[in-house]
Chain A
Amino acid sequence: MKKQFAFFLAGVALLAACSPSHNEEPPTPAATTGVFILNEGQYNAGDGAVSVFDKTTKAVNADAFGSANGGAKLGDVVQDMGVQGNKGYIVVNNSAKIEVVSLPDFKTAGTIGGLHEPRYFTATSASRGYVTEWRGPFTGYLPGVLSILNLSTNTVSSQVTVGRNPEQLLALGGKIYVPNSLDNTVSVIDEATGTLAATVTAADGPSSMVADKDGNVWVLCSGFVTYLSVPPFTATRVSNGTLLRFSPTSPATQFKLTFPATAGPSRLRINPAKDQLYYSFGGAEYQMSTGATALPTAPFIRRSFTGFAIDPRDNSIFAGVSPSFSGNGRFIRYQATGAALDSFTVKVGPNGFVFY
């Protein structure tokens, strides 16, 4: 009996030591009520965190990574998070890494290092991920990089040079679209070959992208403000913001809407039905139908946010508020109509939401 038990133990140990099969697709998780709030944290204080909000109980766990991993800190400047199967990939910009966690318990499942100024992440399968990275000092940025990640080994498998300051990428139809926010281009990378397939000329400062219900790509370009490269760094708007749309089959044919010069638009989002766009402009949030032919003039929510997202499960809206970076921020929930529901305190600088 004792011997049998020992064999049993050895078997369990063997099973535990086995690395998961590389080709196995993780099971799709059951629908949950969790919302992950990304808290950027104070620069250089190492207090970036992901808070977990449970929509049913309205309970907030301010630092899910810390509480799941013995008080370990996530790192400095939490920039983005992607989910693939039951894994979460948290991009920690100033720590130059991606922390991999199992979901929903947030226990560590590895770290992807070898990165430099990582910005935004997306994954197309359990073994394939992408992260945009900046290169160069702020006084003279260089063309950035799209790192192709092997999510089975948590390593960088190859890199593609894109434009300067690549931001919120979009995976669509076997292509990865990378907006180069310090240029006027979108780099298109072919998933199968992992190489640059095309460079689409957009407008100045493309920074975020979504795909609509018709399979079109929308690119929000912030426009350029130049700062004198020497003090006093005076700001001058040299190009206005642009919202543009193209079909992946003919990216050169673009529908363009130009913003007024008063501010630069940012943070393009789309609703779950993929027919309503959202973006922030001049301290307010706007909503626009994908069929519209002009930019809306009246704001959807007249308020400045540091993060904005629509919950695909019920169309409710989550918006991050960071009044200062010297104290905790909070998020506000809105009904799909824009009517405020409630708000909850999280950590410093909430800048994004993930629904899981």
Chain B
Amino acid sequence: MHCFLFRRPLLRAALLLAPAGAALAQQAPGAPPDPARPSQRLAEVRVRAVGPERYAVGSQRLELDSAVLAQYRGATLADVLQARTPLALKNYGPGQLATIALRGTSAQHTAVLWNGLNIQLPTLGQNDFNLLPVGATTRVAIQAGPAAALYGSGAVGGAVLLNTDPDWRPGLRGSVQADAGSFGLAGGSVEARTATPGVAVRVAASYREARNNYSYELREARGPARYTLQNAALRHQWSLSPDVAWRVGLAGELTAAAWLTDADREIQPGAYAAGSQARERDQSRRLVLGYRHVAARQQWAVRGAWFEDVLNYRDGDALSNSHVRTTQAQAEYTVAAGARGSLRLGAEAQRFNAVVDGYGSIGVAENRAAAFALLRYDPRPALRLSANLRQAALPTGLAPLTPTAGLEWDLLRTPTDSLTHSPIHSLTLKASVARSYRAPTLNERYWLPGGNPGLRSESGVGYEAGLRHRRAWGGGTRFETELTAFRLDVDDWVQWLPSASTGIWSPRNLRQVRSQGLEASTALCHQQGRYQGSVQLAYHYTDTRKTQGTAADADPVGVQLAFVPRHQASLSTDHRWRDWQLSGTFVFTSFRYVNASGTDFLPGTGLLGATLGRTLRGPAGTSLLVLAQAANLLNLAYDSYPSRPAPPRSVGASLRLGWR
């Protein structure tokens, strides 16, 4: 078990472009020492590529712990984020549309990248986090704050980074899991990985269904009335994600990864709406091929990706179908800049081919391209700097230029512990400033009627500064606290509004929005004998308001935006003793307005969850994990969205058979 705040990707990424001698002397994490095969050892170090996060100096980054991800393996990204983080999601119900509002921004303002490629639905420009099963990826990180120079369009409020990293540990390991729970929840998953010195393969697959036929109470004029939720079943949801990595020579790595998802959902109607049979089918097929060449002082990489996204909605006889193919290519070259820096230059191109009912009978094609330069420079080990730049070209012209600058400065840094190589006590000042943009979505440009081909990109500028304090004691106790203050301004914010003369809804660049807030987190980890435990506490204060709007934009200025809670806090605690594991989570969300006027609101909620598990060791490296999970333990009756009652207390159980 890890204490997630301690997992700084920086440490891993720093290996490559440090002076060559140092790189050769170090070992990549997870690589077993093998003195008999020094060349193999070198290769492992050398093919470990530098991730873009190395250039995100001074940004707030949260990486979900792999042990946490394992607990939520049968669930979706929406489930794990809502249970474990103080991030705001707008969720229409269990398994229903769930979108994120990072730092108070809208659903289109968070870029979601899978293995470095943007997987936002090109039509809507957003992702449904209930369509992203957790088990498909091996690493989930959230970088808050604008990061368009690194992640391109949409990284206005931040970016969610999903990665499947090759596991080069030799041998075969894997697990099979079965899940069952309240309200007809049933599912299963399998994960298997194997590696030889030359090839690493991983396959993950999952299936899930749920009837979601729970009961809820409505306050009616004649008194409280109880109903059973109708038309809200998750009929099926499956995910298949194979990936493979080949070593080519000493410096090359060829990777191929696919991710296929398919979900068939009934669409939960409003509690006051009379009968609905709405259903939605979402299918995504994603394939990425990549090659990278990593030498001591330089590396280059190319990637090609093919995505296909299907979203078919049906309500009775009324259909709305959409099908988009996305082709993407990326190339980047990274070179050491002196002994203390590295420079990355790159370019990418995207092509969308959409056949969408709402666009008319002919297909729509759109091309976008971007070039970027990323610079990391550490004048001293205690002072790290980055400066990045991206320029995107869109069909309507150039997107706003998006530079970024970041700084991390260790104000306090005690000598390194010789055993763990980590500082025992450090205090780091961090700051960054970044511009961002969001390209208009295909729906915004091409929807008939109302699409606005002349829509400008939204642009954002963000500032953040904070402190990170780490303390480790010899025994096995670590403590980390991070405090970040941010301010984010988004201009040309797009709203759909009906035209006064025709009544046709159309998107326009209407307003400016300012979001400012505080993010605090603290984590304590302790290890003693066969006990490992941790407590994480996080709090977000987010104040997001429209600051200015055009005459057509009637929503009031100065009111907290809808569905952005001012206060969110999460507490999670994980304990492991011998073969037992116990986790508890509590997430508090303050009230949030449900429209722009700041009058109607959803009340605040406090949701408690718990997990209890025991691992039984079997022969030949096998093990059986028995997990019991409960959500909404306080049985709070609440709406996750106006007129969408959320599930009451629910329980679930999982059995996982593993081998290694």
Contact = CB atoms under 8 A, between A and B. Distances in A.
A94 B274 CA distance: 6
Contacts of A44: 269-270, 273, 643
Contacts of A352: none
Given A139-B317, A263-B501, A304-B500, A94 B272 contact: yes
Contact of B596 (A62, A140, A326): A326
B272 A46 contact: yes
Interface string B258-295: 00000000000111111100000000000000000000
A183 B500 CA distance: 26
Q: Which 10 A-B pairs have the closest CB atoms?
A: A323-B554, A232-B360, A46-B272, A108-B221, A327-B596, A96-B274, A46-B643, A232-B448, A44-B270, A328-B597
B316 A137 contact: yes
Interface of B: 218-222, 269-275, 315-318, 357-361, 448-449, 495, 497-498, 500-501, 554-556, 562, 594-597, 599-600, 642-643
Give the interface SS of chain A, mostly helix, strand, loop or mixed: loop
A170 interface: no
Contacts of A232: 358-361, 448-449
Given A45-B643, A46-B270, A232-B358, 19 more contacts: A45-B642, A46-B271, A47-B600, A69-B221, A70-B221, A76-B270, A95-B272, A95-B274, A108-B221, A137-B317, A230-B357, A232-B360, A232-B361, A232-B448, A324-B495, A324-B497, A324-B555, A326-B595, A327-B554
Interface string A77-96: 00000000000000010111
A18 B544 CA distance: 56
A328 B596 CA distance: 8
A347 B642 CA distance: 15
B594 A45 contact: yes
A312 to B, nearest CB: 29
A263 B502 CA distance: 8
A351 to B, nearest CB: 13
A49 to B, nearest CB: 10
Contacts of B597: 327-328, 345
9 contacts: A46-B642, A97-B274, A230-B357, A232-B449, A324-B554, A324-B555, A327-B556, A328-B599, A347-B600
Contacts of A97: 274
Nearest to B316: A137
Contacts of A327: 554-556, 595-597
Contacts of B316: 137
B85 to A, nearest CB: 27
B652 to A, nearest CB: 29
A220 B448 CA distance: 29
A137 B318 CA distance: 7
Contacts, number: 118
A72 B225 CA distance: 11
Contacts of A72: 219-221
B599 A73 contact: no
A75 interface: yes
Interface in A336-356: 345, 347-348
B299 to A, nearest CB: 47
B358 A73 contact: no
A29 interface: no
Contact of B272 (A71, A76, A324): A76
A231 B269 contact: no
Nearest to B219: A72
B219 A95 contact: no
A139 B318 contact: yes
Given A46-B270, A99-B221, A231-B448, A282 B501 contact: yes
Contact of A94 (B273, B449, B596): B273
A348 B270 contact: no
A45 B449 CA distance: 24
A272 B360 CA distance: 47
A73 B599 CA distance: 15
A234 B361 CA distance: 11
Contacts of B562: 326
A324 B596 contact: yes
B642 A231 contact: no
A152 B220 CA distance: 21
Contacts of A46: 270-273, 642-643
Contact of B357 (A75, A108, A231): A231
Contacts of B599: 62, 328, 347
A221 B317 CA distance: 28
Contacts of B269: 44
B318 A73 contact: no
Contacts of B222: 108, 111
B96 to A, nearest CB: 12
Contact of B642 (A47, A92, A96, A282): A47
Contacts of B497: 323-324
Contacts of A323: 497, 554-555
Contact of A326 (B271, B360, B555): B555
Interface string A127-158: 00000000001111000000000000000000
Contact of B500 (A96, A99, A139, A283): A283
